[in-house]
């Protein structure tokens, strides 16, 4: 007889595999330019040119922007139209064969294709296993605002809808239980005391970087005469660093003191390494020598310089912006051990970015948009509950007119300001759904924040003369690159995802919502908004092909239809 625990485990594994297949299939369709076809018995057909066969699958929902949803039944259709049932692992193998062919064509990388397929299959399995584990430990959402904000950050069990390994991690091992946000993790940071002779830091905005209890405890441990700066570290990272001979040497010389766990508890947000104490006015973006999706998540000095240059620029420009409801969370500075002392690699493993947390007074407790858009077991995404909550009467909770009004308000505080700021000042924010925070009032969108200045890019050509950014700043990009990044992050990733979810769960279908978005953008005086409406395609990051080819740092982009253009009158 099967135990309730194993039933839960089996159901979670099945759900995780289905989510992974959905992401693989949709990502393959997008990156190969293949259309989701229809069979004579109303199933979906996905052509596989490398083998001349096709995947046939039940389709629960077709999305005009590619966010399709599938059933559990999958078949391999042979060239003679015979169908053979296939399981999850078969689907992964079939798609990786196709991806190998695509990557060989794109990058001329055919020689090591078998190794790349094996490695990516392992990462896909890692992501599935993690998702299954998270599903078995899902927690109810608290009712208090801070609890809801934390829950949104820590409930992304499925992750990026167009990524092959959205929940893959390498490095935590058995420590995943202690540190995964999806498992409700919280911990006390480890603190180092760094002698100021070996310190590199930059402050670009006011704000406290060290909680008072940590300062008091460190003073007691170090003595009043010590000339040290305090540096937080993720507990896992602290153990990793203390195993390094060069770090041990600094400790032995008294230039670095490992103070241990001090101060208040923090919780990891959706990025895993950025942590929050709701009562403290600063987030810590901590380095973590763990591979999450594509990258080891440390903080190289050029990256923190870009983030702090962005903080300087935004602080300088923001008083001239007239966008009620739109705000930016800036990085107020960084601190690390000087790379001249320990080298660039170890400096990246110590480096901490400090980000303002203006939500300690309780006036707003925004939720990350990615969390609001996630599917819930047997329930609609939380964003849909917000839209329903502000309906004028019960019969209108999903009505097209009400939903269109909600979307117009949302765009007025998010996409329109993002485009107009780029048009005016050349600042391209990395405004994808995981960097977007939304505060609602009675269900209506009233405040929007974009975060993570490390991903900001600025057009050299749009930057005004005499600005505070030095000409050699890593923040500066050619105009076309900065504009491409904004189109991808704010439109393809952000708007496309939001419209697909709202169109799926309300009476306002996707084409209608894209028309509403087009009408909203047409009211803008920004040239970028007008340009966006006249482009037949949008850029989309090719995460599957780029991941297969080892091009995560310099990903390929593919073109996808621009629905803002296609719904034009």
Q: Are strands 69-77 and 367-368 parallel, antiparallel or unpaired?
A: unpaired
All residues at 6 or more sequence positions from 150 whose CB lies less than 8 Å from its CB, including other chains = 142, 267, 276, 278
Residue 500 counted as domain residue: yes
pLDDT band (50, 70, 90) for residue 22: very high
Q: What is the mean pLDDT of residues 97-121?
A: 84
Same domain, 270 and 183: yes
Position 569 scores a pLDDT of: 63
For residues 131 and 188, membership in a common domain is answered with no
Structure tokens at 492: 């393809």
Instruction: Identify the CATH number of the domain in which residue 505 sits.
Output: 1.10.510.40
**pLDDT > 80? residue 224:** no
What integer pLDDT is reported at residue 310 of this predicted model?
A: 97
Q: Domain check: are 374 and 350 in the same one?
A: no
- Residue 378 and residue 449 in one domain: yes
pLDDT higher than threshold 90 for residue 262: yes
What mean pLDDT do residues 328-341 have?
A: 98
Indicate if 301 and 348 belong to the same structural domain.
Answer: yes
346 and 374 part of one domain: no
Cβ neighbours around 518 below 10 Å, total: 20
558, part of any domain: no
Q: Is residue 219 part of a domain?
A: yes
Q: Are residues 329 and 382 both part of a single domain? A: no
The tokens describing 373, both together, are 């858009």
Residue 229 has pLDDT above 50, yes or no: yes
Looking at the fold, whether 273 and 340 belong to one and the same domain comes out as yes
Give the per-residue pLDDT at 111. 56
pLDDT for residue 567: 74
C-alpha 333 chain-centroid distance: 22
3-state SS of 288-318 is: EEEEECCEEECCCHHHHHHHHHHHHHHHHHH
335 and 479 assigned to the same domain:
no
The mean pLDDT of the chain is: 94
User: Do the domain assignments include residue 150?
Assistant: no
> Is pLDDT at 146 greater than 50 in this prediction?
yes
pLDDT band, very low/low/confident/very high, at 1 (cuts 50, 70, 90): very low
Phi, psi of 48 (to 5 degrees): -120, 90
pLDDT at 341 (0 to 100): 96
Per-residue pLDDT band for 7 (boundaries 50, 70, 90) equals very low
What are 490-526's pLDDT values in tens digits? 999 999 999 999 999 999 999 999 999 999 999 999 9
Query: Six-digit token pair at 516?
Result: 């509403």
Verify that 94 and 187 share a domain, yes or no.
no
pLDDT of residue 330: 97
Domain count, the chain: 3
Is residue 109 over pLDDT 70?
Answer: no
Determine the Cα angle at 466 with ends 461 and 472, to 5°: 60
Of the residues 89, 122, 141, the one at which a domain ends:
141
| Helix runs in 343-486, H state only | 344-350, 369-373, 382-389, 400-413, 415-425, 479-486
Give residue 207's domain range.
169-356
Residues 478-483, mean pLDDT to the nearest whole number? 98
pTM recorded for the entire structure: 0.95
Whether residue 552 lies inside any domain: the answer is: no
Distance between first and last Cα of the chain? 61
Confidence of residue 4 (pLDDT cuts 50, 70, 90): very low
17 lies in the same domain as 127: yes
Query: Of the candidates 122, 141, 160, which is a domain's last residue?
Result: 141
pLDDT for residue 362: 87
Residue 6 has pLDDT above 60, yes or no: no
Residue 382, domain member (yes or no): yes
Interstrand relation of 169-170 and 83-85 (parallel, antiparallel or unpaired): unpaired
- 102, 126, 141: which is the final residue of a domain? 141
Among residues 154, 80, 94, 79, which one has the least CA distance to residue 124?
94
Contacts made by residues 118-125, CB under 8 angstroms, sequence distance 24+: 120/96, 120/164, 120/165, 120/547, 120/548, 121/92, 121/93, 121/96, 123/164, 123/165, 123/168, 123/547, 124/20, 124/24, 124/92, 124/164, 124/165, 124/168
Q: Are residues 319 and 428 in the same domain?
A: no
Pairwise CA distance, residues 195 & 130, whole Å:
40
Residues 49-85: tens digit of each pLDDT: 998 999 999 999 999 999 999 999 999 999 989 999 9
User: Strands 444-450, 436-441: parallel, antiparallel or unpaired by DSSP?
Assistant: antiparallel
Q: Span 113-133, mean pLDDT?
A: 94
Residue 3 has pLDDT above 50, yes or no: no
**DSSP label of 302:** H
pLDDT tens for 169-183 read 888 888 998 999 999
pLDDT score at 541: 96
Q: At what angle do helices 510-522 and 400-413 cross, to 10 degrees?
A: 40
| pLDDT of 396 strictly over 90 | no
Whether the per-residue pLDDT at 292 is higher than 90: the answer is no
Q: Would residue 567 count as lying in a domain?
A: no
At which residue do the structure tokens 């019969």 appear? Answer: 395
**Averaged pLDDT, 260-286:** 97
Least confident piece of the model among 192-196, 368-372, 554-558: 554-558
Query: Is residue 129 domain-resident?
Result: yes
């Amino acid at each position: 007889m099967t135990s309730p625990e194993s039933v839960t485990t089996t159901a979670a594994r099945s759900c995780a595999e289905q989510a992974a297949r959905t992401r693989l299939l949709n990502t393959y369709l997008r990156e190969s330019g293949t259309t989701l076809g229809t069979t004579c018995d109303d199933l979906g057909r996905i052509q596989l040119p490398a083998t001349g066969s096709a995947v046939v699958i039940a389709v629960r929902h077709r999305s005009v922007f590619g966010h399709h949803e599938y059933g559990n039944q999958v078949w391999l259709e042979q060239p003679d139209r015979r169908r053979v049932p296939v399981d999850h692992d078969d689907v992964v193998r079939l798609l990786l064969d196709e991806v190998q062919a695509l990557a060989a064509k794109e990058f001329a990388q055919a020689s090591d294709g078998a190794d790349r397929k094996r490695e990516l299959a392992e990462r896909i399995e890692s992501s599935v296993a993690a998702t299954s584990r998270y599903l078995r430990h899902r927690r109810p959402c608290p009712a208090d605002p801070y609890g809801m904000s934390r829950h949104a950050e820590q409930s992304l069990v499925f992750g990026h809808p167009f990524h092959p390994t959205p929940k893959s991690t390498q490095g935590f091992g058995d420590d995943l239980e202690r540190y995964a946000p999806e498992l409700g993790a919280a911990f006390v940071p480890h603190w180092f005391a760094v002698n100021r002779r070996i310190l590199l830091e930059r402050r670009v905005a006011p704000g406290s970087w060290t909680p008072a209890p940590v300062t008091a405890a460190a003073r007691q441990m170090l003595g009043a005469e010590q000339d040290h700066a305090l540096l937080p570290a993720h507990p896992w990272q602290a153990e990793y660093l203390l195993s390094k001979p060069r770090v041990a040497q600094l400790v032995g010389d008294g230039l670095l003191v490992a103070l241990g766990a001090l101060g208040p508890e923090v919780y990891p947000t959706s990025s895993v390494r950025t942590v929050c104490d709701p009562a403290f006015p600063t987030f810590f973006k901590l380095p973590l020598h763990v591979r999450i999706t594509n990258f080891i998540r440390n903080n190289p000095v050029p990256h923190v310089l870009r983030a702090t240059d962005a903080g300087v620029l935004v602080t300088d420009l923001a008083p001239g912006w007239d966008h009620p409801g739109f705000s930016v969370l800036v990085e107020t500075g960084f601190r690390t051990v000087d790379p001249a002392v320990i080298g660039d690699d170890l400096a990246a493993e110590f480096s901490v970015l400090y980000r303002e947390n203006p939500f300690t007074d309780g006036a707003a407790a925004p939720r990350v948009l990615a969390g609001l858009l996630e599917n819930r077991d047997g329930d609609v995404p939380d964003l849909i509950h917000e839209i329903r909550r502000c309906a004028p009467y019960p019969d209108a909770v999903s009505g097209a007119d009400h939903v269109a009004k909600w979307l117009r308000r949302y765009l007025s505080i998010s996409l329109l300001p993002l485009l107009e700021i780029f048009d005016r000042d050349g600042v391209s924010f990395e405004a994808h759904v995981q960097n977007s925070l939304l505060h609602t009032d009675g269900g209506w969108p009233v405040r929007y924040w974009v975060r993570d200045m490390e991903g900001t890019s600025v057009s050299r050509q749009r930057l005004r003369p005499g600005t505070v950014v030095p000409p050699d700043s890593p923040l500066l990009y050619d105009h076309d690159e900065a504009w491409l990044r904004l189109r991808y992050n704010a439109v393809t990733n952000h708007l496309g995802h939001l419209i697909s979810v709202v169109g799926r769960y309300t009476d306002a279908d996707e084409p209608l919502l894209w028309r509403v978005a087009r009408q909203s953008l047409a009211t803008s005086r920004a040239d970028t908004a007008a340009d966006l409406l006249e482009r037949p395609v949008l850029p989309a990051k090719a995460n599957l092909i780029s991941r297969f080819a080892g091009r995560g740092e310099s990903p390929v982009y593919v073109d996808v239809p621009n629905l803002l253009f296609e719904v034009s009158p």
